[in-house]
Structure 1
């Protein structure tokens, strides 16, 4: 890093986030985000939000307002269609209703909502919860050491520079990431597919879409291959152009290169397929790429969003994948900053996210070929079989030290969420659940709640879900939570985060929970702050009043938390090391 003037002001922050967009940090207060743009998005990009993403924003209290805003502009039953031209022949439907069948596997739906509608909502929420955002501010340089990261940032309006000192830096600075470039982290994957183009325009296309098409409309004809994203009136949207001209020719892969307004008008007219008055408001060239960074972490610097992976817009996986990156990072950094987890916990971000992201970019590549560029298929092309969107959105599994995973059969990172069972490493599967409020460790004086989505219990810390006969796990959880006079058994437990304990009621309806989570009424499931299952004990009929078994449950639960939080024996005192080794051996 260039030598900074000795009198340059220094600002300290726990976490410095470079770039913002939709990739926001949850759970880290007082972080500083700098964004080189002067405001939130002004163009309608990244319109499709996945159910997993909406689960995250449901935890933040934004889901209802996002649905309300979405339904003003888009039909909640919008689909993904294919046409020769907007006014011409239909070529079929990829997805008739984007929310068909989702109610069985998710408490949230897919939403169409453009960035310029959504980003102000996220910005206001972040500011209300202690985040500091600076627009028109760019990263000039940075360096890191064993204790943190020092960055120089510049106000792009005044030119004033400031030195920022942070314990961690998260780079969300886009596909041409300055941070990734300086760290020398290469990209790998499928490379450049085309120099694409987005044409923003004004027109009345209502007569071609009302009662016929809604949502995303793929266009495939001899002149243009790409897709419209239109609202339910047919008066607002854009055309994304992947290839144009003679199909399969080299020149067809460069519609966004040196494009003129007249050429853009010809392309748009060919996509509409009728003589319609329109006004082009912006031409935005971009590169269609499906690549992933070789690694997501370098010391105290982490990559997220487009800085870590780049995909084509097919399926809307770019922004959604970035949001899930941030969700995985945030709770881990927060617990480390609170001294409740070992810094090694942060290294599990790459371990968990990289395989899932790699699978995602490979699947988006398949969608690009199938939906837009079938001419790229050849005997030499290595291409996976396409899997349904819910597998990618809700059916993936993490593996790391922060979990007690055993892995899916055959080494797969994802399965069908409609049929798969919840297991360590999977996100908590959606069921309606009735719990009781345990007012004593004996399990008496309880009142059953109305069934709610299991997601209502999650997202604000560690959660222990106990079967209605799992009294020893209920007592263990309450002791670790600090609710009883006899505190946790190990001296390390005072630095562990609290665990929220919920007892499943004996209601017949809860058999779906036992079936999905593969436990008995004597069993228990521990779920992480990000909503992923960390551990499960099937349970067995044992004497819950046995004092030795009760102490064993406390020791196992405490040891489990030490493991998940990467508080290894090396980080504990000698007495704690012996205790921890015993606890871990019982997991």
Structure 2
């Protein structure tokens, strides 16, 4: 949601979500909708988030969200091709040639590009052609989603409103219902006698009659409903051996496939795109070295592996305890995975993070190279004015460029960044400079472990690239600061020394 806030979509998405879902829903485990409650995994999915994020978690279906995203993409100049498939592709040192075909007219077109990103899902044709293997926890079940309409309000209103796991002798899975309880779906992972091989194939030879039996067992009451769609799918938690072969990169489910447990699938794909987009843009603009694209896999694959393992853990605990294995990792709290994941790569001046750590607690961890620019309210000084702006989230500064946030005594850094912008002559990307006001920024200095004469450089994807605690406090320090800042920026962009 922080990423979509950068795009200006957050409020639209929040309004759309509120029409159908409760922003303060939880995650429950029940014997059946009409039966007893077994456990609560999360009481309120947004409790306490205001301290670590400028956005809330939202429930939003693909059908609701994609029209908003489509309109935004078209407005920003995207060329969207519907009813179009990738027939074949080839690559060499100069780029990628892709053969596209319109599935309605049969017309074909050859497209030439420097890079290709495969976002073609868990059965990725691109990944298979490249010979990239998927490894991990393998096939967990041939699952089934039943979309239906029914009047279930009396079972959920004022009681359950979120993700409702069902565990009984007949069915194991989860409900997602709108806040009226009249429409939603039941995702089934296993059905029938627990622990048997047959129970792992609820979608096999499925009929409306069998689906109705399973749905009735999950509801726990004999009542009328209308099944609108049966959708079989494979529950897997696997990771691609590599996210890149030469000029072709994998993103989303093509690179890492998980079950819906925890809601990490689509979110992790969004994070991939966010990490990769600015890197490709700067490389194509000749403002970064081609090696910058190598850092995509270095940063994203460890996070994807952690996510795959964590989703598997949730699948086992919430749905299939018979799959528990020796040495399984413990569950990491959701915020650690959503906001506390960390990167290690040459696109960072990683001087302060423990080597190899992938997650941390965003509520307590300090922001440093490789972490997100953790949420904090800041007060910046007005340009050429001693007065200050109103307090705002640091996220307001991010998403469009490299950002240098400078302490209120760091005038040398301000002058150095502006000089670098002026002199770079489009050879380096511009840095947006924001100096903090003299009062009201104690929380920032603490969270970012900085002194008032220090600075922090934040990448376009909102991750801290580098921080300097206590130098270049005066304008007389600007020449040294200029050198240091340019050197850091070149290192982060994987550019050879000047």
TM-score range, shorter chain: over 0.9
Structure 1 unpaired stretches of 5+: 1-53, 440-444, 570-575, 577-587
**What is residue 305 of structure 2 aligned with on the other side?**
358
Offset, 1:162 = 1.0
Tell me which residue corresponds to 1:193.
Answer: 140
Match of residue 162, structure 2, among 175, 197, 215: 215
Q: Distance in 2 between matches of 1:119 and 1:406?
A: 40
Q: Is the Cα contact below 8 Å between 2:413 and 2:473 reproduced in 1? A: no
- The 5 A counterparts of 1:252-401 are 252-378=199-325, 381-401=326-346
The answer as to 2:438 corresponding to 1:506 is: yes
| 1:519 equivalent in alignment to 2:450 | yes
Aligned to 2:270, what secondary structure does the other structure show? helix
* Alignment correspondent of 2:474: 544
Q: Does residue 1:554 correspond to 2:477, yes or no?
A: no
Q: How does 1:123-138 map to 2 (within 5 A)?
A: 123-138=70-85
Q: 1: CA distance between counterparts of 2:9 and 2:321?
A: 39
Aligned counterparts of 1:113 and 1:200: Cα–Cα separation in 2: 16
SS at match of 2:441: helix
Q: Does the CA-based 8 Å contact 2:403-2:431 persist in structure 1?
A: yes
Q: Deviation of residue 568 (structure 1)?
A: 1.9
Pair 1:481-2:481 in alignment: no
Distance in 1 separating the partners of 2:208 and 2:454: 65
- 8 Å Cα contact 1:84-1:220 kept in structure 2: yes
- Indicate conservation of the 8 Å contact 1:173/1:179, yes or no: yes
Q: 1:245 aligns with which of 169, 192, 201?
A: 192
Seen in structure 2, the aligned counterparts of structure 1 residues 150 and 407 have a Cα distance that, compared at 3 Å, is farther
Cα distance change of structure 1 residues 361 and 474 upon mapping to structure 2, 3 Å threshold: same
Residues of 2 paired with 1:286 and 1:250: CA distance?
17
In the aligned structure 1, how far is the partner of 2:106 from the partner of 2:398?
44
Q: What SS does structure 2 have at the residue aligned with 1:288?
A: strand
Query: How far apart, CA to CA, are the structure 2 residues paired with 1:501 and 1:410?
Result: 30
The structure 1 segments of at least 4 consecutive aligned residues displaced by more than 4 Å after TM superposition are none
Alpha-carbon deviations, 1:50-109, whole Å to 9, x = none?
xxxx11111111000100000010011011011000011001211010000100000001
Correspondence for 2:63 among 116, 120, 127: 116
Secondary structure of the residue aligned to 1:179 is helix
The partner residue of 1:419 within 339, 342, 364 is 364
2: CA distance, partners of 1:515 / 1:422:
9
Is 2:208 aligned against 1:227?
A: no
Contact 1:437 1:502 in 2 (8 A): no
* 1:551 counterpart SS class: helix
* Secondary structure in 2 matching 1:315: coil
Q: Secondary structure at the match of 1:314?
A: coil
- Alpha-carbon displacement from aligned partner over 1:212-267 (angstroms, at most 9, x marks no partner): 00011000000000000011110111000000000000100110111111111110
Classify the secondary structure of the residue corresponding to 1:436: coil
Provide the rounded CA distance (Å) in 1 between the counterparts of 2:383 and 2:469: 21
Is contact 2:191-2:199 (8 Å) kept? yes
Answering whether residue 32 of structure 2 is matched by residue 85 of structure 1, we say yes
Length-normalised TM-score, structure 2: 0.98
Query: Which secondary structure state, in structure 1, belongs to the residue aligned with residue 120 of structure 2?
Result: coil
Contact 2:411 2:473 in 1 (8 A): no
Structure 1 segment 134-145 matched on structure 2, within 5 A: 134-145=81-92
Equivalent residue, structure 2, for 1:464: 404
Structure 2 residue 380 is matched with structure 1 residue 435: yes
Structure 2: gaps (5+ residues) = none
* Partner SS state of residue 304, structure 2: helix
Partners of 1:189 and 1:291 within 8 A in 2: yes
Residue 399 of structure 1 contacts residue 407 of structure 1 at CA under 8 Å; is this kept in 2? no
- Aligned equivalent of 1:9: none
* Helix, strand or coil at the partner of 1:188: strand
Following superposition, the deviation at residue 411 of structure 1 comes to 3.0
Q: Report deviation, 1:119.
A: 0.3
Cα distance between partner residues in 1 of 2:99 and 2:473: 62
In the comparison of the two structures, how many residue pairs are matched?
A: 498
* RMSD of equivalent CA atoms: 1.2
Alpha-carbon deviation of 1:545? Answer: 4.2
Q: How far apart, CA to CA, are the structure 2 residues paired with 1:67 and 1:281?
A: 27
Distance 1:410 1:528, change over 3 A: closer
